Amino acid sequence: MSLEKMFASIDNLRDTASVSKAFGEPQEAEGKIIIPVAEVGLGFGLGFGQGTTPESEEVPVGEGGGGGGGANARPIAIIEISKEETIVRPIEDESKIALAAIAMIAWCVFWLMATLRAIFGKQ
């Protein structure tokens, strides 16, 4: 892939990774304007190199390169705008809350077991 094609692909990915592409344009409903808010991230990596023969370090034998990229978008809030007020409603990630609860339970069980071992001795 030529360098120009690679930069064109990066520009195309940057244009497609936006809040409006991931979650839509602002909408109007019941006298309110609803605006989606998202966290959008882009990541890229490139690598190029060449090899030489053991006999002559100055004559390149092969060369190559590669690259990759990706985009991620996740909703974080909704903004509701009405004539009376503007409200930002955060979107909570239930999986993170569940993982935090599991970690807290595991931590409590660990310390409970450590305390019982200290009191009653290891059997």
pLDDT digits (tens, 9 = 90+) for 63-75: 777 777 777 888 8
Q: What is the pTM of this model?
A: 0.51
Q: Give one DSSP letter per residue of 39-82, joined into a string.
A: EEEEEEEEEEEEEE-SS-TTSEEEEEEEEEEEEEEEEEEEEEE-
Tokens of 49: 């190199």
Tens of pLDDT, residue by residue over 81-92, are 988 999 999 988
Alpha-carbon gap, residue 19 to 81, rounded angstroms: 18
Mean pLDDT of 108-119: 92
Please give the order of strands across the beta sheet that includes 60-81: 27-29, 32-52, 60-81, 86-90
